[in-house]
Amino acid sequence: MKWLTITLLILSTPAVATPVLHVDDPGGAAARVGAPVSAPITLANNMLEVAAMGQLRLKVLDARGSQVAEIPVQFAPSVDHPNKGTFWWLLPPEHEGPETAYRYFAANPKANILVAASYLETKRAVMVTEGGKPVLRYNQGTTAVPEGIDPAFARGDYIHPLWGPEGEVLTDDYPEDHPHHRGINWSWATIRWNGETRDAFAVRGVRAQPADRPTLANGPVFATIRAENTWRWDGGPAIMAETVTMRVYRKTGTTRYIDIDIQLTPLVDGLEVGGRIHRGYSGFNLRMAPGTEQETRLRREQGVDGGYGWGDYSALFTGQNHRTGLTVLENAANPGYPNEWRQYPTLNFFQPAWPGGTPVALTRGRSVILRHRLWLHEGRVTGDLLKALRASYDRPAHGGT
């Protein structure tokens, strides 16, 4: 087990004793892939405003105490006490080591580039940018149907476009071969209620509609989107409450993390949800943009230490001469984990398919939570990196005194 010693110092008040935290990073997995790390912290009053403006940074120190880098850090206050909360940052792989230390300080106002989420009123969508460059758009409301596509396929509640590390568009929407496919979405082909069946995946009879304007937060390490939606049966009765929470992290080098949590709470009795009967597809769906030299790698394994579930899609996307990829990890706490993974190479489509081809009965008022982590990258991903990604998601690095 590897420990990193984190020294936290308020430089503007040197007389104040500084807390020392230790970060538990089992096997060094999180540091190897630059994964998120969190540590509980109590800030002095004079630092709260600095933290609120996103102007905190960490000095990365080597074993001799020499500064080797600076990185952003983000403070997330607790609900009960504004001075208490959590520090979040991304471990720097190039400076990983058991004696690495960090000191936080108030930086120049322009030192940190914010990951920013802004609401597009007319589109009922959220645009996430970093330094003014687009990262993703979450379409909470219904999107415009392109010319030549049946208007019946109009839908919302999905991510598109998703941009890659160099600005390339990685997802597709309203493709002519399957116009119901849409970027990254969470929808199911079989929804049963009162003896009838509808198909949210194919946009037939059940659609998600915004319940309220989303809650947004920005910062130097990540932006957060929290959206409340309602599934409606034939445009009428509300059958499901949906809460989507996204944490979109800053880019480090040519990689970026995105965490997506989906909470589904049935509002009616007798509701069943499943994939396409017998064939099983639908669930957490990814329709990628057209590209050349595409590769899809999937793994589903139940081992003595638990399950392993991940998928990786990479290709040379339009206008690019280098390979870009997207790794998807299922959270080990997801129902059915590790679930079946499906791919359709001719459609640039892959997915972890919970619950598969047999619908599951849901209990009114009892939530189902599905969590996934996306990792954008360039080039092909080695098996060792995938193992580190898996390990850092299952056992995230965290701090404690």
Kindly state the average pLDDT of the residues 377-391: 92
Residue 355, preceding peptide bond in cis (omega within 30° of 0): yes
CA torsion through residues 21, 26, 27, 28, sign: negative
pLDDT exceeds 80 at position 62: no
Count Cβ atoms within 10 A of the Cβ of residue 228 and give its class: 0-12 exposed, 13-18 middle, 19 or more buried. Answer: middle
Q: Which residue has the tokens 């399957």?
A: 178
Distance CA 52, CA 48 (A): 6
Distance CA 194, CA 131 (A): 50
CB 60 within 8 A of CB 69: yes
Order of strands, edge to edge, in the sheet holding 101-106?
67-72, 56-61, 101-106
Residue 266, preceding peptide bond in cis (omega within 30° of 0): no
Note the pLDDT tens digit of each residue in 317-360. Answer: 987 889 999 999 999 999 999 999 999 999 999 999 999 999 99
pLDDT of residue 261: 98
Distance CA 321, CA 397 (A): 35
Length reported for the chain: 401
Note the pLDDT tens digit of each residue in 71-93. Answer: 999 999 998 898 999 999 999 88
pLDDT of residue 58: 87
The distance in angstroms from the start CA to the end CA of the chain is: 16
The confidence band for 99, taking pLDDT boundaries of 50, 70 and 90, is low
CA dihedral of 34, 40, 45, 47, whole degrees rounded to 10: -10
Nearest to 289 by CA among 143, 168, 146, 133: 168
Note the pLDDT tens digit of each residue in 186-227. Answer: 999 999 999 999 999 999 999 999 999 999 999 999 999 999
CA torsion through residues 115, 331, 174, 378, sign: positive
pLDDT of residue 1: 42
Q: What residue type is assigned to position 359 of the chain?
A: P
CA distances from 307 to 10, 58, 73, 340, 341 (A): 42, 35, 32, 11, 13
CB 88 within 8 A of CB 73: yes
Domains defined for the chain, CATH in brackets: 2-106 (no CATH), 115-393 (2.70.98)
Count Cβ atoms within 10 A of the Cβ of residue 388 and give its class: 0-12 exposed, 13-18 middle, 19 or more buried. Answer: buried
Helix (H/G/I), strand (E/B), else coil: 284: strand
Higher pLDDT, 92 or 154: 154
CA distances from 317 to 138, 139, 169, 285, 382 (A): 21, 22, 8, 19, 20
Kindly state the average pLDDT of the residues 21-50: 87
Count Cβ atoms within 10 A of the Cβ of residue 197 and give its class: 0-12 exposed, 13-18 middle, 19 or more buried. Answer: middle
pLDDT exceeds 80 at position 3: no
∠80-82-83 over CA atoms, to 5°? 120
Q: What residue type is assigned to position 23 of the chain?
A: V
The confidence band for 104, taking pLDDT boundaries of 50, 70 and 90, is confident
Q: How many helices (H) and strands (E) are present in the chain, helices listed first?
A: 3, 30
Beta strands in 91-182 (DSSP E): 101-106, 115-120, 125-130, 133-139, 158-162
**Is 0.95 topped by the overall pTM?**
no
